[in-house]
Amino acid sequence: MADKKMVEAITSMEEDFAQWYTDIVKKADLIDYTSVKGCMVFKPAGYAIWELIQRQLDDRFKATGVENVYLPMFIPESLLEKEKDHVEGFAPEVAWVTQGGLQPLQEKMCVRPTSETLFCDFYKNEVHSYRDLPKVYNQWCSVVRWEKETRPFLRSREFLWQEGHTIHATREEAEERTIQMLNVYADFCEQVLAIPVVKGQKTEKEKFAGAEATYTIEALMHDGKALQSGTSHNFGDGFAKAFEIQYTDKDNTLKHPFQTSWGVTTRLIGAIIMVHGDNSGLKLPPLVAPTQVTIIPIRQKDAGVLDKAYEIRDSLKARGIRVKVDDTDKTPGWKFSECEMRGVPIRIEIGPKDIEAGKCVMVRRDNGEKFECALSDINDKVKELIPVIQKDMLEAARERRDSQTYVATTKEEFEKIFSEKTGFVKAMWCGEQACEDEIKEKFAVTSRCMPFDQETLSESCVCCGKPAKKMVYWGRAY
C-alpha cells in the first residue's frame, strides 16, 4: 500500500507532462521553492547531480587548456552599455543594484546576466601583445535574468552555469575554439548524460546578442519538445572593437583580437529528467547519479541481514562506487518505489534467504531488468553494468528522438506534422528571415538550428518555394 501511494502521487507524463515534471522535481527531492519568486533551492539530491556534471565537464575543459577564473557579479551600467546589440538583448531582464550599505550608488550596477562585458574590461588590461594570446578562461558561477515565467532547472531568475570566454589573435583560431567547445558539450551530453544532441548553427534571428555566429546543441525531450542544451558563440572582433581591446602583433602593428564565449547551465538537469524519466520517476545515468547503487535489506531485523548489506556497501565503496544502504524503518515496497523515484541506476535486494543461498537480487532502473547475482560477483557485476546502462540509456534516448524526428518538404506536410505531433521537423529553408518569421507565427515553432550534418531533402524552401539554402531543424522549444 505504501509504495502504491508514492507512485500514485505523481501525475503520469501522458496525462500532463508539465505536472509530471514538477512532481518529479519535488518527489525526487531535487528542488524546493523559496520566498523569492523564481529563485529555487537546490537540495542535496539536486545539487549533487550538478556537482557531478561540473567536475566531469571541468576535467574535459581543462584537457583542452581551459583555465578557471572568477570575475565580479556586478556590472556597472556604463560597462553593460558598451556593446549595442548586447545591451539591447539583456538590459530588459536584469536585476539592478541601486544602493550599497546606507548610501545610494552613484552608478547603478546590474547583477551579471552573463559576463561578456566584464571579460572584455578585464582583457583590455591583460592583452597587449601577441604573446598574451590566446587566453582561454572559464568561470563557474550563478547569473540572474529577471524572467516572468519560471520553471525549476529550465528557467529561473537565478541559475548556475559555467561561462567560457576566450580571446585569440585570429578569426580562424576563435572559430576553431567555438566549434571545439561545442564538440566538448556534445560529447559530454552523449557520453555522460546519455543524451543525444543535434549540433548546428543558429539562424541570424536566433543568435546571441552581440555574436557573429552562435552554435547550439539541441536535445529532444520525452514530450517531443526541443531543449537548447548548450551554446557556443563566435564574436569575431565586435566586442574587441566596442571595448577597444588591441594587441601588438609580431609585425608590430596594432590589431583587434577575436573572442568567443560558451556556456551550459543547470537546465541540463531538466534535460536529464525529461529525456530519461518515466512514470515511476527519475532515471539517472550512472555517471551523474549521486547514488549509483542502493542496497535494500529485506527483513532487516533478522540476524545478519543488515551486516551483510553494510559489507556489500563497503566493498562497493572501496571500488569507487557511490552506494547507500536504505536501513530506515520504511517497508521494502516503499523503499523500492522511493529508489525508483530518485532514479538510482541499480537496486540490490538482499534478505535472509538470499544470504543463505549466497546471492542477491539486482534490478536495473533503466529497463526494469531483474536478475539474481552471486554475492561474490556483486562488485564485478556492478562495475560491468555501469557502462552498459550508460550505453543502453543513450541508445533508448536516440531511438525515441529519431522516432520523433520528421521530414517536411512542403508547407502542407509541415503543417500536418505540427498539427498532429510534437518533435523535430527537418525542412529546407531559403535563408530569408521572412520565411522564418512566417513559420514561427503560423505553427508556433522556432528554428532550432542549421545542423552541421546537412541533407538535401528537396530543392525549395518549405515556406516560400524559392531555392533552398539550408536544411533546418524546427521544433517547439522549452
> 29: phi > 0 → left, psi -120 to 50 → alpha, else beta; which?
left
Does 44 bind a second copy (CB under 8 A)? Our answer is yes
Shortest Å distance, C-beta 184 to a second copy: 19
256/236 Cα distance (integer angstroms): 10
279/294 Cα distance (integer angstroms): 20
Pick the piece of the chain touching a second copy (CB under 8 A) from 157-165, 232-240, 301-309, 351-359: 157-165
Of residues 71 and 396, the one with the C-beta less far from a second copy: 71
Q: Which three cell numbers stand for residue 99?
A: 544602493
Does 65 bind a second copy (CB under 8 A)? Our answer is no
Cis upstream peptide for 467 (omega within 30°) = no
List, in sequence order, every beta strand (DSSP E) within 221-326. Answer: 226-236, 247-248, 254-255, 258-265, 293-297, 323-325
338/28 Cα distance (integer angstroms): 8
Q: Which of 68, 129, 331, 403 binds a second copy (CB under 8 A)?
A: 68
Does 47 bind a second copy (CB under 8 A)? Our answer is yes
Count of CA atoms in the C-beta half-sphere (13 A) of 153:
26
Q: Which three cell numbers stand for residue 329?
A: 524503518
Count residues near a second copy (CB under 8 A).
Answer: 52
93/157 Cα distance (integer angstroms): 9
- Helix (H) / strand (E) containing 347: strand 346-350
Q: Which of 35, 253, 419, 456 binds a second copy (CB under 8 A)?
A: 35
Does 88 bind a second copy (CB under 8 A)? Our answer is no
Q: Which of 14, 16, 51, 395 binds a second copy (CB under 8 A)?
A: 51
Does 439 bind a second copy (CB under 8 A)? Our answer is no
- Helix (H) / strand (E) containing 371: strand 370-374
Q: What sign results for the dihedral spanned by CA atoms 37, 42, 46, 50?
A: positive
Q: Which of 22, 60, 132, 141 binds a second copy (CB under 8 A)?
A: 141
Does 72 bind a second copy (CB under 8 A)? Our answer is yes
For residues 449 and 473, the answer to whether their CB atoms sit within 8 Å is yes
Does 109 bind a second copy (CB under 8 A)? Our answer is yes
Pick the piece of the chain touching a second copy (CB under 8 A) from 20-28, 64-72, 162-170, 362-370: 64-72
**What is the 8-class DSSP label of residue 297?**
E
Shortest Å distance, C-beta 39 to a second copy: 4
Does 126 bind a second copy (CB under 8 A)? Our answer is yes
Does 39 bind a second copy (CB under 8 A)? Our answer is yes
Q: Which of 15, 70, 303, 455 binds a second copy (CB under 8 A)?
A: 70
- Residues lying near a second copy in the complex (CB under 8 A): 32, 34-36, 39-44, 47-48, 50-51, 67-76, 79, 92-102, 108-109, 111, 118, 121-122, 125-126, 137, 141-142, 144, 146, 157-158, 160
